[in-house]
Amino acid sequence: MLMRNWRAAHRAAVTIPAVLAVCATLAVGPASPASPNPTPTTATATATADTAVQAARVMENLGRGVVAVRSSSTQVLVSWRLLGLDPEGIGFNVYRSTGGGAYIKLNAAVLTGGTNYADSTADLTRSNSYRVAPVVGGQEQAPSEAFTLTADHATEPVVRVPLRSGGPVKFVWVGDLDGDGEYDYVVDRQTSPQTLEAYSSDGDFLWEVDMGPNSQNQDNIEPGSSAIDLGHWDGVTVYDFDSDGRAEVAVRIADGVTFGDGTTWTHEDDSRQWMAVLDGRTGALRNWSAVPTTYLGDGPMGARLGVAYLDGTTPSLVAYMKNRRDDGSFNLMMAAWKYDGDSLDRQWTWQRGSQNAPDGHNTRAIDVNGDGTDEVAEIGFVLNGDGSLRYSMGPKGINHGDRFHIADMDPSRPGLEGYGVQQDNPSGLLEYYYDASNGTVIWEHKGDGPADVGRGMAGDVDPRFPGMEVWSFSGLYNAPSNKLAEPNASLRPWPQLGLWWDGDLTMELLNDGKIEKWDPARPTSSGSLPRLVSTWNYGAVNASQGVQPTFVGDILGDWREEAVYTNASYNELIIFTTNQPTTTRLYTPAHNPAYRNAMTFKGYMQSHHPDYFLGAGMARPPRPNIAYAAGGS
C-alpha cells in the first residue's frame, strides 16, 4: 500500500520585480553608465528579437555570493556576483570588518569594472569579513551578506564546507534550499543502501534521505529501482520548481525510501517507481507522480533528471529513463513533470519505440530555435517543449556517442550549433558539427573504420580564430571554419572539461584534478600543459569516473566557475574558486537560462555553456529575459 503520511505543500506566489523596467544590457569589460551598446552580431540581434515578445522565465533570486580567498601571503581576492537583472552602470563598494570591528570601505572610487577586488591592506593574522554594497544612480544600496576569511587562513583558491562523516560522494547538486539567496548543497553517499544529505551554504547539516534496500543493486546498466548516481543514471536534481524562492529536491523513488522527516514510502512491487519532490529544508515528501509502467515488465528504469523551461516561463522536471530487455536492447522513455507547490503532474511522455533516435550519456535542455522556450536534446535527437520529436539525426548516419555540446560556437552565424562524438559508428564517423535548431550536419570527420571516440569538448581556447574550437582525439579544430587550429594533432588538449578561471575570455581546462591552460603560441601535448592548479595539493580527491569533480558551475563570486571536490575522508567539500582578478564584467552564468539548466543535469559530467558566445572578441551579451522568484527566506 502507498505511504500516506506525507507533508502538504505550501504554495507560494511568484512576483515579477519592478527592476525589469530599469534593466539594461550588461557589459564585457569595464563599462560606464553612458557606454553605448556595441552593434550586436546577427545571432545576437535575432535572439534579442525572438525573446522580446516572450514572457520572462522565473529564475532564482540570488544574493551577491561574496567570496574571499587568500591569493598570496599579503593579498585577498574578494569576488561577487553581477546579477542578471542588475541595471546598466551599477557599481559597488567593498567593505571589510577586521576581528569583528566596524566595516570600513576599501575602494576610493565606486567599482564599475570586474566584480572583484584585490585587498592588500588586511591584517591576515586576524579574521576579516567582506561585504559589498551596490551603488545605483550614485546612491549606495543595502549591503550584501558577508563572507569571513578566518585568521591566519591558508593561501589557497579554496572554500571548505564541512560534511558529516560518511561514505564516498560522487555528485553534488546546488540550490537555494533555505531561501537566503545563496546556494546550498545536496550530496550523495555511495554506500549500501545509498543516502542523500543536504547542507546549508555554511555546512550546517539539514537532513538525510535513506534510499532504501532497492538502492543496494548498484549495477551501472540495470540498477535497483531507487539506486542513484551509477553510470550515467543520477536519479536526482535540485531546483526551485514552484518558484517560491526555495529549491526542492526531485528524486526517483521506490519501495523502502525513508524521507528526511522519518516517513517511509512503501509498495509491494519493488520494480514500481515514482518521481518525488522533497522539501529542500527538511527532506520531507511534498508530492509524487508515478513513473509510467509501459516497460515495467522489463524491470525498473534508470533515470537521468534535469530542468527545462518547456513553456518558456516556469521550470519542469525532465527525465530520461531506460531499462533493458532480455535480448540486450533498451527501452527509452522521456517524460516531463510540473510541480506547482501542490501537485506534481506529468505533462507528457515520449517513447522511442522503433524510431531511429540515437541517445547518449548526457542530456541538455536549451532553446535551440530562439523562440524563448526550451527543447530537450540528446546526442542524436531533439524533443520540442510539448514532447514531440523535433528532429532526429539518426537517418543522417548519427548513432550513439558519449558526449555532445550545444552552444553559440559561431557568433557570426545565427543560432546555436552542436558538436558530438561517436561510438563505433559503422560508417567510420568520428565527430560532427551541426545546426542545433534543425539537425543539419555542417561538417563531419571520418576515420578508416569504426572507433569509440569517447571524449569530446567545445570551447574557445584559441583567440587567433573566431568562435569556438572543438576537439576529440583527431585534432583541435576551429568549429566555424572546420580548420585545424593546431596542425599537429598530438598537441591538442585532452577533451575532458572546460572551466573559466584565469580572467581572460578563453576557456581553461579541467582534467584529472588539474586546471590547465592550452597555449596556442606554445602548444604542448595533453600531458604537459601549463598548470594553474593541482587540486590534490589542497586535499581534493577525484570522484565520478575517477577523473571528475562532484560538480562544476558558477556558484560563488563573479562569472568564473567553481569546481567542487571532497577530501579523502569525505567529510569536507573542497570548492575551488579563482584567486585571479579580472577586469571582465559579466552577469553570473547562473542567471543565463541555458547555463542554469545545464547545472541541473549530470549523466557523464560535461561542461556548461551559456546561450551566447563567451570567448575572445565576444560581443556584449544580451540581457537575459528573466524575472526573479519571490523571496523564500
Instruction: Specify the pLDDT at position 630.
Output: 86
- Measure CA of the first residue to CA of the last residue in the chain; give whole Å: 36
Q: What Cα–Cα distance (Å) separates residue 120 from each residue in 132, 278, 577?
A: 17, 45, 19
- Grouping H, G, I as helix, E, B as strand and the rest as coil, residue 394 is helix
Is the link from the previous residue into 223 a cis peptide, with omega within 30 of 0?
A: no
Over residues 7-35, the mean pLDDT reads 33
- The set of cell numbers assigned to 192 is 549500501
- The set of cell numbers assigned to 152 is 591566519
What b/e readout covers 426-445, taking b as 16+ CB neighbours within 10 angstroms? eeebbbbbbbbbebeebebb
Report the amino acid identity of residue 37.
N
**Residues 122, 69: Cα–Cα separation, whole Å:** 12
Question: Which residues does 426 contact at the CB level (< 8 Å), separation at least 6?
Answer: 399, 450
pLDDT band at residue 547 using 50, 70 and 90 as cut-offs:
confident
Whether 601 contacts 304, CB under 8 Å: yes
In what helix (H) or strand (E) does residue 523 lie, and over which residues does it extend? none
**Residues 340, 91: Cα–Cα separation, whole Å:** 36
Q: Is 269 left (phi over 0), alpha (psi -120 to 50) or beta?
A: beta
Place of cell 576581528: 99
Q: What is the DSSP letter of 464?
A: T
pLDDT at 39 over 50: no
Percent of the chain with pLDDT over 70: 91
pLDDT at 467 over 60: yes
Over residues 69-86, the mean pLDDT reads 98
Sign of the Cα torsion 109, 114, 120, 124 reads: positive
Output 143 or 27, whichever has higher pLDDT: 143
pLDDT band at residue 90 using 50, 70 and 90 as cut-offs:
very high
Instruction: Specify the pLDDT at position 54.
Output: 75
Over residues 490-509, the mean pLDDT reads 95
pLDDT at 48 over 50: no
- Strands of the sheet containing 514-516, edge to edge, are 497-499, 508-511, 514-516, 531-534
SS3 assignment for 562-612: EEEEEECCCCEEEEECCCCCCCCCCCCHHHCHHHHHHHCCCCCCCCCCCCC
pLDDT at 480 over 90: yes
What b/e readout covers 38-61, taking b as 16+ CB neighbours within 10 angstroms? eebbebbeebeebbeeeebbbbbb
Whether 66 contacts 147, CB under 8 Å: yes
**Residues 215, 217: Cα–Cα separation, whole Å:** 6
**Residues 396, 339: Cα–Cα separation, whole Å:** 37
Instruction: Specify the pLDDT at position 578.
Output: 98
Q: What is the pLDDT of residues 166-185, one digit of tens each?
A: 999 999 999 999 999 999 99
* Secondary structure tally for the chain: helices H, strands E: 2, 43
What is the number of other CB atoms lying within 10 angstroms of the CB of residue 505?
Answer: 18
Length in residues, the chain: 633
Q: What is the distance, to the nearest Å, from the Cα of residue 138 to the centroid of all Cα atoms in its chain?
A: 35
511 CB burial (10 A radius; 0-12, 13-18, 19+) = buried
Q: What Cα–Cα distance (Å) separates residue 571 from each residue in 540, 565, 568, 613?
A: 11, 11, 8, 38
Place of cell 513533470: 337
Segment 553-556 long-range contacts (CB within 8 Å, at least 24 positions apart): 553/174, 553/589, 553/590, 553/595, 553/598, 553/599, 553/608, 554/588, 554/589, 554/590, 554/595, 555/65, 555/174, 555/183, 555/590, 556/65, 556/67, 556/79, 556/159, 556/183
pLDDT at 29 over 50: no
Whether 85 contacts 96, CB under 8 Å: no
Over residues 603-632, the mean pLDDT reads 94
Instruction: Specify the pLDDT at position 526.
Output: 77
Q: Is 73 left (phi over 0), alpha (psi -120 to 50) or beta?
A: alpha
pLDDT band at residue 20 using 50, 70 and 90 as cut-offs:
very low
Beta strand ranges found along 413-465 (DSSP E) = 417-421, 429-435, 441-446, 457-459
- The set of cell numbers assigned to 568 is 579523502
pLDDT band at residue 1 using 50, 70 and 90 as cut-offs:
very low
**Residues 329, 400: Cα–Cα separation, whole Å:** 13
**Residues 27, 97: Cα–Cα separation, whole Å:** 30
The string of DSSP letters for 239-265 reads E-TT-SSS-EEEEEE-TT-B-TTS-B-
- The set of cell numbers assigned to 65 is 555570493
Instruction: Specify the pLDDT at position 28.
Output: 52
**Residues 528, 524: Cα–Cα separation, whole Å:** 6
Whether 431 contacts 401, CB under 8 Å: no
- The set of cell numbers assigned to 135 is 551603488
329 CB burial (10 A radius; 0-12, 13-18, 19+) = exposed
